[in-house]
Chains A and B, each alone.
Chain A
């Protein structure tokens, strides 16, 4: 297998990934310290440090082919997560977790923009995303773009991902990525973070509903 052109192509991404990794490492240390100090605090509020830096800012193509940015969803709470369609184990679990949350929200799901951003845009084209997201939930929005656009979106969420060359993998690489699900305010600010397996879909739906109600009252 010829890895050389791939490595060259990935170089800019690597730098970004390492930058993001440094942030994740720093954030993880804070997160751990927090968990040790306050082991039984409400999970949904336990967040990585540097959360103020997390913001929703992107320019991507949605699964219907439209160029979109965070401004297109400013009337809704954003539920943002990253993944890729070559991932048959973790990603379908996360997508159906989000689909469950949307079902539990019922009519309130109209106040939520569930955004699934691929970290593998080379293979996850708009057509692939359209076919993929529709299987999980009709309201789910799939986003892709160029590698630079996706890297920039991941950076605005402080999301770590990497491409690792692996000769046995399809197309010679495997991806690792963060499975966090970010709840962002309608104006694109960080609100909360969730993780499949840590919070039940019921808890997440409740957390979102509380915020929608609060907003409606004010």
Chain B
């Protein structure tokens, strides 16, 4: 009974990656959305000691999740869809507004500030990893400890 409770408690901790330690996921957050019919944006910091590749991201609250890179040149910004994302060994990859985000399309619900939702990430080496994402303000630029 007790070990089960420990596992359950761990599973409920926000922002902690489960399933394995081949990959570290931190600062998992998303922007609150205004209209439920509009896409949301989520951000993660990923690091793998051996190097890895993010193949796919899913969530029970979104129909499709795409990796988007924002390209800005001379004031014109554009979102570029990346099929996968390579992680260099030992190098943290931090998604951030204006740079890299997970575009969440077809949300089943509005992302409300102060709530959380799960993401399931599929890595080439680390396999499937789940993470809880905290919803921050509508124009947040990152969790406070990362921002400052």
Contact = CB atoms under 8 A, between A and B. Distances in A.
Contacts of A89: 41, 68, 70, 79, 97-98, 101, 103
A78 B141 CA distance: 27
A24 B75 CA distance: 10
> Interface size class for chain B?
20 to 34
Nearest to A133: B34
B74 interface: yes
A24 B77 CA distance: 13
Interface string A22-63: 001000100100000000000000000000000000000000
Contacts of A190: none
A108 interface: no
B72 A179 contact: yes
A178 interface: yes
A92 B138 contact: yes
Given A170-B105, A177-B77, A93 B98 contact: yes
A116 B105 CA distance: 24
Contacts of B35: 85, 128, 131-132
Interface of A: 24, 28, 31, 85-90, 92-93, 95-96, 99, 128, 131-132, 135-136, 160, 166, 168-170, 174, 176-180, 195, 197
